[in-house]
Amino acid sequence: MDTSTWQRPGLRAALLYAVAAGLLGAVVSAVSRLELTRRGVPDGELPDGPVIVVANHTSFADGVLLALVGRRLGRSLRLMATGGVFRSGLVGPVVRRLGFIPVLRGTSSAAGSLDAAATALEAGEAVGLFPEGRITRDPQHWPERSKTGAVRLALRTGAPVVPVALVGAQQVVGRTGIVARLLRNTVLRPRVAVAVGEPIDVRRLAGVVGDAPVDEATVRRLADEVMSALVAQVAELRQEPAPYAAGVPEEALSA
């Protein structure tokens, strides 16, 4: 699977995105209550032009939920999704047509995903991703410390980063008993609260001028700063303090 190339979807793909969003929106509304409780973006919409949307990851439903949030904020997100989604005979052709970007974690092709995402951003698209790189392993569903991909994309392209907190998604679809949970949710309809933060200019945070290189320590610091903004939004929605400001570190998960 080639992860290094990306082509802008055409008009048919835009129509397909609208239809898919409508259908999935109806399904999501049947099994949950998706509520945007706070919007930090100007005029309640994502910025025009290239933008990177990052969200915490607690559920298999997060990709669909984030795409629907993007539509409510006026943009069709090109999500970076695990390669397994693209290998699905049913879903794979659809997400390719929609301009989604495969991520093959732990392989030599993983870096190509950033190249494809950069191409999409340079074309003025909105790219969505989960900086943790996986569903959180924290038993209390707090975000993990992020990887650095989102920050590297922002430094490379100059695109602002918009943090989006999702709280309650694990009640929509869990790791086990998916069908039973969805059936139960048609009656109980769990609430998924969403908070959209202000756009973050990562280049400004780094003090970067032009194409000046950024050392790895600075990249790591910037990734923690962006994640701290996202974790703070999650904590605000949950109305409780986060155990780690920049996300749960790996050593705490394995303790």
Tell me what pLDDT residue 20 has.
92
Q: What is the pLDDT of the chain when averaged over all its residues?
A: 90
138 and 63 Cβ atoms separated by less than 8 Å: no
Q: Low-confidence residues of the chain, pLDDT below 50? A: none
Tell me what pLDDT residue 83 has.
75
Domains and CATH numbers, the chain: 11-250 (3.40.1130.10)
CA end-to-end span of the chain, whole Å? 36
137 and 249 Cβ atoms separated by less than 8 Å: no
Q: What tens digit of pLDDT does each residue of 71-106 get?
A: 999 999 999 988 778 877 778 888 889 999 988 766
Distances (CA, A) of 216 to 48, 149, 152, 213, 225: 30, 12, 10, 10, 14
Give the C-alpha separation, 127 to 139, whole Å.
Answer: 28
Tell me what pLDDT residue 106 has.
60
Contacts of 255 (CB under 8 A, 6+ apart): none
Tell me what pLDDT residue 1 has.
58
Tell me what pLDDT residue 179 has.
78
DSSP letter assigned to residue 47: P
175-177-181-182 Cα dihedral, nearest 10 degrees = 90
